[in-house]
A = this chain, B = another copy of it.
Amino acid sequence: MDNRPALGVGMVGYAFMGRVHSQAWRGVSAIFDLPVRPVMTALGGRSAEKAAAAAARLGWASVETDWRRIVERDDIAIVDICTPGDSHAEIAIAALDAGKHVLCEKPLANTVAEAEAMAEAARRAAAKGVRAMVAFNYRRVPAVALARRYVAEGRLGEIRHVRAQYLQDWIVDPEFPLVWRLQKEKAGSGALGDIGAHIIDLAQYITGQRLTGVSALTETFIKERPLAEESSGLAGESRTGAKGPVTVDDAALFIGRFDGGALGSFEATRFATGRKNALRIEVNGSLGSLAFDFEAMNELWFCDATEPDAGFRRILATEPHHPYAGAWWPPGHGLGYEHTFVHEVKDFLEAIATGTDPSPSFEDGLQVQRVLAAVEESAANGSRWTDL
């Protein structure tokens, strides 16, 4: 008999992010001892037919074609938002105001104004015991969480440098179509918000420092692309010879300063040919350094300069005492991308059950949004230094 309280989950959106979140909701209870029991109650999507097919496949018990129904249903306690950024604010605020806990995909919003409203809604909700979390899943890579632990323990000393890159190459081909991620009104920005947001969040999370100012440049290498039939996923299909303008950045580079004195170098691009999902971060401190690359996500490289013959050592973050890792398999039997979402959902459920604020909060998401806005402002003004 499972006496744990059940929490109904309603998820809005079922494209790439929705598929991964479903894996997490479905699998989390088999791996982690949770104080509550998530139930995959409803999937929200505009097309009843497509949503039903997705729900059947992904394990959702029912379907709603209007996200407002998800927000209203009494059997739903958690709303999981997996839609493009232009709808985050409306759904999240409505859900929070309706007393639903909210997990929202990143970036939190498409504008700072939206993000501010969302953070405000989260504050109101928190006062009533309702929780909100933004889904920066990469914090939940065990190697990344271990990196954070090292910095927090002081093993790196004073942090001097952060260099972070998120390198992909899926739109190098100029014939790749104009999917929604390349449209400003849908996605807010391009590489910057989609993947740049991750490295901004990770840099701040790992170091415990916040960016105070940036100087940036952005570029759109391919100005026009074939129109896509479908615009709700990573892949698309061109129907005709017609083209449309790419209205977001293909790449964003910036340098910046952190409030603890560190310098930062950031680069997010979808034009790094041969790099598939190379989220990389290196942190140099006075006592040691850390390096991580998501393409080898089970590895954390750590240099402890206080030991003789120091060098970067490859720690497989799969030991029982490593974050999250003990719940899984024996050492060396690595995890994959989707498991970062399992960890995310686990932490979110625990926060709800224990009545604590989950992290990263909407406030954290807002702060990242401000960095994104500062980067865009700087880039639009000849790389002018832009304070945060």
In the assembled complex, the Cα of A253 lies from the Cα of B257 at a distance in Å of 11
Contacting chain B: which of A43-51, A79-87, A310-318, A361-369? A310-318
How many Å from the CB of A67 to the closest CB on chain B?
Answer: 22
Q: Is B16 within 8 A of A22, CB to CB?
A: no
User: Which single member of B163, B216, B319, B322 contacts A267 (CB below 8 Å)?
Assistant: B163
CB distance from A24 to the nearest CB of B (A): 11
| Interface residue ranges of A246-300 to B (CB < 8 Å) | 251, 253-255, 257, 261, 263, 265, 267, 269, 271-278, 282, 284-289, 294-299
Residue numbers in B under 8 Å from A312 (CB-CB) = 274, 313-314
- Give Cα A19–Cα B337 distance, bound, in whole angstroms: 19
A74 at the B interface (CB under 8 A): no
CB distance A216 to B309 under 8 Å? no
- How far in angstroms is the closest Cβ of chain B from A210? 17
Closest to A313 in B: B313
A208 at the interface (CB under 8 A from B): no
Contact A16 B163 (CB under 8 A): no
Q: How far is the CB of A256 from chain B (nearest CB, A)?
A: 8
Do the beta carbons of A263 and B255 come within 8 Å of each other?
no
Copies of this chain in its oligomeric complex: 4
Known: A30-B22, A57-B30, A329-B16. A257 touches B172 (CB 8 A): no
**Other-chain contact of A286, B156, B253, B273 (Cβ < 8 Å):** B273
Contact B267 A265 (CB under 8 A): yes
**Contact A263/B27 with A295-B316, A384-B385 known, Cβ cut-off 8 Å:** no
The distance in angstroms between the C-alpha atoms of A28 and B309, with both chains bound, is: 26
Q: Contact at A337–B338, with CB atoms within 8 Å? A: no
Q: Which B residues are CB-close (under 8 A) to A335?
A: 336-337
Kindly provide the distance from the CB of A335 to the nearest chain B CB, expressed in whole angstroms: 4
Taking the nearest CB of chain B, how far is it from the CB of A247, in angstroms? Answer: 19
A146, B265: Cα distance in complex, Å: 28
| Chain B residues whose C-beta falls within 8 Å of the C-beta of A167 in the assembled complex | 284
- Of B251, B257, B315, the residue contacting A309 (CB under 8 A) is B315
- Asked if B161 and A272 make an inter-chain contact with CB atoms under 8 angstroms apart, the answer reads yes
- Give Cα A337–Cα B303 distance, bound, in whole angstroms: 24
Q: In the complex, what residue of chain B is closest to A158 when comparing beta carbons?
A: B221
Query: CB of A59 within 8 A of chain B?
Result: yes
CB atoms of A172 and B286 under 8 A apart: yes
Residues of B within 8 A of A161 (CB): 251, 267, 269, 271-272
Query: Quick one: CB contact mask for A216-242 with B, threshold 8 Å, 1 for yes?
Result: 110101000000000000100000000
Which of B26, B267, B287 is the one whose CB lies under 8 Å from A27?
Answer: B26
In the assembled complex, A331 has its CB within 8 A of some CB on chain B: yes
- Known contacts A285-B273, A339-B336; is-contact A30 B58 (Cβ 8 Å): yes
B-chain residues with CB within 8 Å of residue A163 when the two chains form the complex: 165, 267
Q: Which residues from B are CB-within-8-Å of A315?
A: 309-311
Instruction: Jot down 9 A-B pairs with beta carbons below 8 A, ordered by A.
Output: A163-B267, A172-B305, A215-B216, A216-B255, A221-B261, A253-B255, A274-B289, A311-B313, A312-B313
10 interchain residue pairs of minimum CB distance: A276-B332, A277-B332, A313-B313, A274-B303, A336-B336, A215-B383, A333-B337, A311-B313, A311-B315, A335-B336
